Chains A and B, each alone.
Chain A
């Protein structure tokens, strides 16, 4: 299972790289990478996990949540700035 998790993390890197190279949107790429890392953490929990694996999965979930919340806040701020700017 850990090799499968590693493979998912690798495909996440490939996907994030494709997003950055294709669009230059690094924030979107960061969110994409955290989605894949979450998937890898979940797959690793499928077999009988250790406390370390549990803590790692929990930390990934928290980091992913923080990244998504932070990016969403920045997007809202940008939209607010644009709507406040005349023209």
Chain B
């Protein structure tokens, strides 16, 4: 009786947390699409896309954090080994992606800082390299 009530509460919480994670990712994707289209038409320069990509990466990382929280909540009631295996696989994928995204964001932030320090010539050169 108590276990069923607990299961129902956790199911609702998992649904809410995972919906929040998906919502964050969807909002980030829509925002980034608008920025890519507007900046692509206005500026015609690859350097302007780096901050947009960084922001999209941050949205993805935030969404992943929510989804990982949902996975952790779900392990509170995992009845079969198959479900535990799937949860482990999802958590592994999300943790790996979170790690790589975090590293890429840090790396690109460093590049943006370096380019700002070097001035407009370096930014133009980076734009040519992206071709």
Contacts and interface: CB of A to CB of B under 8 A. Distances in A.
Interface in A13-61: 14-15, 18-19, 21-28, 31-32, 35-36, 38-39, 42-43, 45-47, 49, 51, 54, 57-58, 61
B45 A58 contact: no
Contacts, number: 117
A23 B44 contact: yes
B130 A27 contact: yes
Contacts of A74: 129
B58 to A, nearest CB: 12
A5 B119 CA distance: 39
Nearest to A14: B33
Interface residues of B, number: 44
A78 B36 CA distance: 25
B102 to A, nearest CB: 13
A19 B129 contact: no
Given A12-B29, A54-B90, A57-B93, 13 more contacts: A4-B22, A4-B26, A8-B25, A14-B33, A26-B131, A28-B49, A38-B60, A38-B97, A39-B29, A43-B22, A45-B90, A49-B90, A54-B86
26 contacts: A4-B26, A8-B29, A11-B30, A12-B33, A14-B36, A18-B40, A18-B41, A19-B40, A19-B46, A22-B39, A22-B40, A22-B44, A23-B46, A27-B130, A39-B56, A42-B63, A42-B97, A46-B67, A51-B89, A54-B90, A54-B93, A57-B93, A75-B126, A75-B129, A78-B129, A79-B129
